[in-house]
Amino acid sequence: MKLICIGRNYTKHIEELENEKPTDPVVFLKPDTAILLKKQPFFIPDFSNDVHHEVEVLVKINRVGKYIDKKFAHKYYDQIGLGIDFTARDLQSELKSKGLPWEKAKAFDGAAVVGNWLSKSKFENVNNINFSLHKNDELVQQGNTSLMLWKIDELIEYVSKYFTLKIGDIIFTGTPAGVGKVVANDKLKGFIEDEQLFSIHVK
């Protein structure tokens, strides 16, 4: 399985990082080795002094698809989740300044938190899901999928032009504003609506 990540999908996050608003979804991949193992802490890697949390709504693909039309995209997932795209911001900035790929800053071991999954049927509308991240019990990020530049079904249509989607693949749909640095002993908790889907200890 693969992790397909979408960058710059919320306007306020684009603004906070002073990035250019894209005309198409920004797509990058993480390997399965990036998934943080259940009940394991997140260890800040020794190659970065500025790792940021980025909370994101996740979608798990449940059938194989290629060139999926948006009107059929809803058939390709039945679970919604929440996770974190950890980013070594200092390393990412260095790589971007040189025009190099981001993978070392985004795809390192443990850089992808995948929380518990919820049935899509739980939601009246997947384009109106509230989600949030709390750091040490303080709200630091909150968003709603209605604010995505490209909604879930549009992302599936776009991504499937380039990559065959397979059962178990996970799409990270982008992060809202409020990203920030994590330090040792931070406790991160992620919520969809009022339901906690993960709790991570930083070391």
pLDDT at position 14? 61
Is the confidence at residue 17, as pLDDT, over 70? no
Structure-model confidence comparison of residues 33 and 14, the more confident one: 33
**51-80 per-position pLDDT tens digit:** 999 999 999 999 999 999 999 999 999 999
pLDDT for residue 13 is more than 70 = no
Q: State residue 21's pLDDT score.
A: 73
Question: Could you read off the pLDDT of 103-114 as tens digits, one per residue?
Answer: 999 999 999 999
For residue 202, the cross-strand partners are 42
The per-residue pLDDT of the chain, averaged, comes to 95
pLDDT in the model for residue 18 = 64
Per residue in 167-176, pLDDT tens? 999 999 999 9
The label of the residue with tokens 């200890």 reads 201
